[in-house]
């Protein structure tokens, strides 16, 4: 099984579609499974997911030839059958405008931007799946097709090099800490 994860807006669905078609792999969308199985619960205006139930259901669904896609991947997949994990990254400055277009609330936007700046999804993926299997790719400096090519080569194991990402350094340099972490 292969995984594509990353914060909302980093390009997961765009890239998953291209790569799955190219490599002939099935796609399992974690959010869709959670919605179909009614595992989302409304809590203080946001949606919470029952992670332990989701984990059990996904374990049954995955096959060798599938790509699992979703920002929750590090929390709902056990590592045993995972071959490769791609974490898509995107500059917070680019993400910000995507969130504006998606009309995210300020709270949701700041939560996800903070997570991307600190690299939480990447950190959690490395923790869950191991450093060797996990490759981060910066989509900010790539076209969609070059990102897809890079992901394909990672899945085919012809390339394992990953990008260097340090959004914290970038935000500090621009003096924008207060803007992204106002509380």
Considering the rule CB under 6 A, would residue 96 count as an interface residue with ligand ADP?
A: no
- The whole-angstrom distance between residue 174's C-alpha and the CA centroid of its chain comes to 25
Considering the rule CB under 5 A, would residue 13 count as an interface residue with Mg ion?
A: yes
Considering the rule CB under 5 A, would residue 17 count as an interface residue with Mg ion?
A: no
C-beta closer to ligand ADP: residue 4 or 54: 4
C-beta closer to ligand ADP: residue 58 or 175: 58
Q: Which of residues 138-177 bind ligand ADP (CB under 6 A)?
A: 139, 142-144, 147
Part in contact with ligand ADP (CB under 6 A); list of ranges 1-9, 29-37, 79-87, 125-133: 1-9
Element (H, E) at 148: helix 144-155
Q: Choosing among ligand ADP, Mg ion, none, which partner's interface includes residue 15 (Cβ < 5 to 8 Å by kind)? A: ligand ADP
DSSP tag of 6: E
Single out the residue of 147, 170, 155, 109 nearest to residue 18, CA to CA: 147
Which whole-number Å values give the CA distances from 164 to 70, 135, 136, 145, 161, in the listed order?
22, 10, 8, 20, 10
Q: Please, are residues 89 and 139 in contact by the beta-carbon 8 Å criterion? A: yes
Q: How far apart are the C-alpha atoms of 116 and 110, rounded to whole Å?
A: 10
C-beta closer to ligand ADP: residue 21 or 52: 21
Q: Choosing among ligand ADP, Mg ion, none, which partner's interface includes residue 92 (Cβ < 5 to 8 Å by kind)? A: none
Residue 20 tokens, joined: 């799955």
Could you list the residues that contact ligand ADP (CB under 6 A)? Answer: 6, 8-15, 98, 139, 142-144, 147
């Amino acid at each position: 099984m292969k995984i594509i994860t990353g914060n909302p807006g980093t390009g997961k669905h765009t890239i998953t579609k291209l790569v799955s078609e190219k490599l002939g792999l099935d796609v399992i969308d974690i959010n869709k499974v959670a919605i179909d199985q009614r595992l989302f619960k409304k809590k203080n205006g946001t949606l919470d997911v029952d992670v332990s139930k989701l984990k059990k259901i996904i374990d049954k669904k995955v096959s060798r030839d599938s790509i699992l896609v979703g920002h929750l991947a590090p929390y709902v997949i056990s590592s045993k059958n995972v071959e490769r994990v791609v974490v898509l990254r995107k500059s917070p400055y680019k993400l910000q405008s995507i969130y504006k277009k998606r009309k995210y609330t300020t709270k949701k936007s700041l939560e996800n931007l903070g997570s991307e700046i600190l690299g939480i999804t990447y950190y959690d993926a490395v923790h869950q799946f191991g450093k060797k299997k996990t490759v981060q790719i910066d989509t900010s400096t790539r076209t969609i097709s070059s990102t897809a090519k890079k992901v394909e080569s990672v899945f085919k194991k012809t390339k394992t090099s990953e990008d260097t990402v340090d959004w914290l350094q970038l935000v500090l340099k621009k003096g924008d800490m207060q803007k992204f972490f106002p509380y």
